[in-house]
Each structure stands twice: as structure tokens, then as C-alpha cells.
Amino acid sequence: MTDNAPATADARFENRRKMAWRAFYALIIYSFALTIAGALSDSVTERINDLSVIVSGVYATLSSIVLTYFGVAAYTDRNDLKYAQTPTKTDYLAPAVTEEGDGTN
């Protein structure tokens, strides 16, 4: 039986991060595979040139996943820092709490 509870924000963020890193690794592997295949045979190079539209589409798709994730992550981190709760003036005026008492003397 599966749990149909909605995923938390942290779990969704973790899944997006995994997807972005896998897309990034796929770009690297895909690039090396095309380079090596093209270097080994002229007929493969011609075939890659014939399929250049598909090759470009794969690069565009994978790179858009990676760039979107990193862009959104950077924007989110920036906003988290920007809107982090800072102490107010009244926080500084509150009496200090010690181990012996509650600060009321």
C-alpha cells in the first residue's frame, strides 16, 4: 500500500536537485560519447551531422533543466537570506535569561 500524502517542500526540492544533477551528468556523458564516436569514424561524424537537430534538442532540454534548477535555487537562497528574521530593537531590551532565574531578578 502506498502513502498518498503530499510531499513536503524539502522532499520536492531534493527531487528537483537530483533531477538537475542527473541532467548535468547526462550532458557530460553525452558530450564525451559524441566526441569519442565522432573521433573514431568519419561515417559516425556524418551521421551525427545528419541528426544535428535531435542532438541540439537534447542539449537544449538537458541544459534548460540544469539552468532552471540552479537559477531558482540561487533566487530562493537569496530571498531566504534577504527576508530572514532579524532581531528587532525590543529583542535587545529584553532582560537576559540566566540559568539561576528567568531574568526578572
Q: Which residue has the higher pLDDT, 77 or 32?
A: 32
Residue 63 backbone dihedrals phi, psi, to 5 degrees: -70, -30
Rg of the chain over CA atoms, in angstroms?
26
Supply the pLDDT for residue 25: 94
* 11 pLDDT higher than 60: yes
* 105 pLDDT higher than 70: no
Supply the pLDDT for residue 63: 93
* 1 pLDDT higher than 50: no
pLDDT tens digit string along 74-102? 888 777 666 666 555 555 555 656 666 55
Domain boundaries, the chain: 10-93
Amino acid found at 53: V
Supply the pLDDT for residue 74: 82
Contact 70, 23 (CB under 8 A): no
Which residues lie closer than 8 Å to 14 by C-beta, 6 or more apart? none
Q: Which residue has the higher pLDDT, 19 or 88?
A: 19
| Whole-number average pLDDT of the chain | 79
The answer to whether the Cα torsion of 62, 68, 69, 70 is positive or negative is positive
